[in-house]
Amino acid sequence: MFDMKHAAVPASPTAYADAVATAVRAAEAYYADGSTPLGDDEYDALLRSITAYEQAHPDQVLPDSPTGKVAGGAASGDVPHSVPMLSLDNVFSAEELDLWAAGLERRLGRPVAGWCVEPKLDGLAVAARYRAGRLVQLVTRGDGLAGEDISHATGAVLGLPAELGEPVDVELRGEVLLTQSQFEQANAVRLAHGATPFANPRNGAAGTLRAKDRAYRVELTFFAYDALGLPEPAHSELLERIAALGANTAAATAAGPRHCTDVAQVQQRIAEIGALRAALPFGIDGIVIKADAAADQEQAGSGSRAPRWAVAYKLPAVHKVTRLLEVEWNVGRTGVIAPRAVLEPVEVDGVTITYATLHNPADITRRGLLIGDQVFVHRAGDVIPRVEAPLTEQRTGAEREIVFPTDCPRCGDAIDTSQQRWRCVRGRGCQAVASIRYAAGRDQLDIEGLGGTRAVQLVDAGLVTDLADLFTLTREQLLILERMGDTSADNLIAALAAAKAQPLHRVFCALGVRGTGRSMSRRIAAHFGSMAAIRAADAEALAGVDGIGPEKAAVVVAELAELADVLDRLAALGVGTAVTAPTAPATVSGSSAASASAAEDGPQGPLAGQAVVVTGTMTGPLAALSRTETNELIERAGGKASSSVSKRTTLLVAGDKAGSKRAKAEELGVRVVTPEEFAELVGELLV
């Protein structure tokens, strides 16, 4: 069997034949339904090794070799294409791209008249045929010469209009894919109908396009990247014409097509799109570079498999296949019991992955995972790796069931399994040390001198079981602890006294309510103005806070009810009792009295109405602030702090090495300021 761990040039004809057979099987699975035993990186490496062997031994090339064939020779169809639908050659580095571009210019005998750079969408290539502006047929790429008629699927493909804005005869070519939100919705629908979830978005798109007579609907999205029958002088202008006709293109996204005058600009745009990858609503596996001028394309021509005027710059894969070795069960600070996948180490997007999230026991059951399964692992940017689905066709029979715990893995007490997320019946009491350490952290109550070792001592001595107990500690109690002298005890008592005066949002954050964090705690505190109003709010009122939906609101209400005793004792001790004017009326359930009235004109301040994102290394006056303190400053100034750039963002504070967030802000036309300019905006509030 060919060794995929080290896809070097085959050392013998037998090894070469094994490599070809492995590649053919992988291509057949990939182009059939999107499944494959190999990740993109492994398949690309395998093809390069086969190509190298064939170049060295041209007399030994096997007829079923995937090299030089569209779709690796694995796809076919019975609907002829009027013009072949070709694949793209690949480059894998800036140096390879420079060599390719120089080769194209040598072929032309002159410089290329500009380039068009656009994302390489990770979907299925299709041709949409229009007659007099009406969609009449949808065909897969197949083997490039003929494809499969999938016209039955057109009603579920967004961005592919049934009628164009003009009565033209045209064939639009593009990719059909599942966006990330469509992928998640599709799997939810499939699970509700008793079907197995899709392994990844491409698998889902392939299966959905070919499916007929399903009992449920799965929506997909079309992105056009070419057209036959629309003579335009440049590819970038052709894309504009397609969009004007009403079809979807990538132009509306931050990674959309851009004209570049030289290869240096191309390289810069590649870096920008690569940096945006994690934030895009759809998957990309590379960037496509095309000679923009139609005259350059015509002169360069095409080979049997790929055009000579375009190339794909491949990015590291964010989906990889590896083996599920074991499942660990960890207990969080709120008592939630979380399963974690232990994986055979695999490199994904430049990072070696050994562990991945499995969400909850119900998710494991729905996905039908077994120990020993080959599984798809996904990682994009800095997102926590997750296991998506098993490759059931790769099972050998040696796999075994995942054993769910019957008792809490930490304390041995019972488990509450009434919700999807299982929880120790002791709740926060199971992880009292973790809860206390979290509450004392810098971004919560900032209790200096209360680190991990001291928290363990307090809990083990029976002095502290929850947050409220901290504020009943006496100097005499502290002095009985090992390595606690007079000075240390006095300092901790003083730090606890200072913590009592922390603002409402920090006290609320210290509670560790599930579904909330630093940003959400600030919003909740600003919305209601007092702990009493927060506690009196029902789920409907909480859902009115920006970013809290009905589901999360119900969790917060339940958590606050569970924390009632702790909250009562904190109030009696004067912790979290500060009252401020809320930013919105706080609705109170039942016959409870209404909370303090809202300020009539909403948030005030130099950033009123602004949605602000801070990124990069801060300089000037902001250099002394933590990111949490900077976000608090934004909200004191009337703005809303956010961690990601979107169409709702109105201001980006960009420090050194701002990276992808700055690029996305510039694409969206968001105002960008330096840390020093931002300091001037907020003025005296910074003091």
Can you tell me the distance from the alpha carbon of 575 to that of 560, in angstroms, rounded to the nearest whole number?
16
Count of C-beta atoms within a 10 Å radius of residue 528? 32
Can you tell me the distance from the alpha carbon of 18 to that of 3, in angstroms, rounded to the nearest whole number?
9
Count of C-beta atoms within a 10 Å radius of residue 501? 11
Can you tell me the distance from the alpha carbon of 596 to that of 588, in angstroms, rounded to the nearest whole number?
11
**Long-range contacts of residues 625-633, Cβ cutoff 8 Å, at least 24 apart:** 626/442, 626/443, 628/442, 628/443, 628/518, 631/518, 631/519, 631/522, 632/505, 632/522, 633/682, 633/685, 633/686
Question: How far is CA 535 from its chain centroid?
Answer: 33
- CB-based burial of residue 218 (10 Å sphere; 0-12 exposed, 13-18 middle, 19+ buried)? buried
Please provide the DSSP assignment of 614-667 as one string.
EESB--GGGGGS-HHHHHHHHHHTT-EEESS--TT--EEEE-BT-THHHHHHHH
Can you tell me the distance from the alpha carbon of 55 to that of 64, in angstroms, rounded to the nearest whole number?
16
Can you tell me the distance from the alpha carbon of 476 to that of 462, in angstroms, rounded to the nearest whole number?
14
Rounded to 5 degrees, what angle do the CA atoms 548, 204, 221 make? Answer: 70
**Secondary structure class of 210 (helix, strand, coil):** helix
CA distances from 377 to 65, 123, 274, 494, 647 (A): 28, 18, 20, 49, 30
Contacts of 673 (CB under 8 A, 6+ apart): 651, 652, 653, 654, 681
Contact 404, 360 (CB under 8 A): no
Please provide the DSSP assignment of 459-489 as one string.
HHTTS-SSHHHHTT--HHHHHTSTT--HHHH
Find residue 324's DSSP bridge partners. 343
Question: What order do you get walking across the sheet with 258-260 strand by strand?
Answer: 89-91, 310-314, 284-291, 115-121, 258-260
Backbone angles phi, psi at 620, to 5 degrees: 65, -150
Q: Which residues are catalytic?
A: 120
**Secondary structure class of 81 (helix, strand, coil):** coil
CA distances from 31 to 160, 314, 395 (A): 22, 18, 20
Contact 200, 210 (CB under 8 A): no
Strand ranges for 72-114 from DSSP E: 79-80, 89-91
